[in-house]
Amino acid sequence: MVTDTISDMLTRIRNANMVKHQIVQIPLTNMSLAIISILKDEGFIEDFETYNEKNRNYLLVSLKYIGKSRKPVICKIQRVSKPGLRVYANSKKLPVILDNLGIAIISTSKGVMTNLKAKELGIGGEVLCYIW
């Protein structure tokens, strides 16, 4: 049993990216669905879909690559807040990733969103991960 589903999801994506797999299977949770939706909206993955196998729900995530050499779009994906050490940021000190070329995913009182949207709304929250 996995205690940290977010880091399990990020590790599955990172490992599939390294060996250039086209799709990756992730156990479905509300948080993983919210993070994957943000990744699709920001253009880091092609698409995703949910499916059921043996009474368990999964996400099938189609990863995105560039060119004939299949260079991954996601260069780095890093977990920030962990179950043993939570990391929070207020609205004035939200992280900026590579001059806004990358994103930070923030869990706020208004839901899971990117650092840019949280800054626009003027709210802070728990910093889940960095992606660029």
Ramachandran region, residue 70 (left: φ > 0; alpha: ψ -120 to 50; beta: rest): left
Tell me: pLDDT of 10 over 90: yes
- Helix ranges restricted to H, 42-112: none
CA gap 132, 120 in Å, rounded: 20
- Helix ranges restricted to H, 22-114: 30-41
Query: Is 3.30.1490.10 the CATH classification of the domain at 5-131?
Result: yes
CA gap 6, 79 in Å, rounded: 8
| pLDDT value for 96 | 95
For 49-76, what is each residue's pLDDT tens digit? Answer: 999 999 999 999 999 999 999 999 999 9
For 75-131, what is each residue's pLDDT tens digit? Answer: 999 999 999 999 999 999 999 999 999 999 999 999 999 999 999 999 999 999 999
Residue 39's nearest CA partner among 64, 19, 57 is 64
| pLDDT value for 61 | 98
Look up residue 94 and give its two tokens. Answer: 């939200």
Between CA 91 and CA 97, with CA 94 as vertex, the angle to 5 degrees is 155
Cβ-contact 101, 74 below 8 angstroms: no
Mean per-residue pLDDT, 14-30: 97
Tell me: pLDDT of 1 over 90: no
Q: Which helix (H) or strand (E) holds 3?
A: none
| pLDDT value for 16 | 98
Global confidence as pTM: 0.94
Q: What are φ and ψ of residue 81, in 5° steps?
A: -85, 130
Q: How many CA atoms lie within 13 A of 126 on its CB side?
A: 14
| pLDDT value for 2 | 81
| pLDDT value for 9 | 98
CA gap 25, 15 in Å, rounded: 12
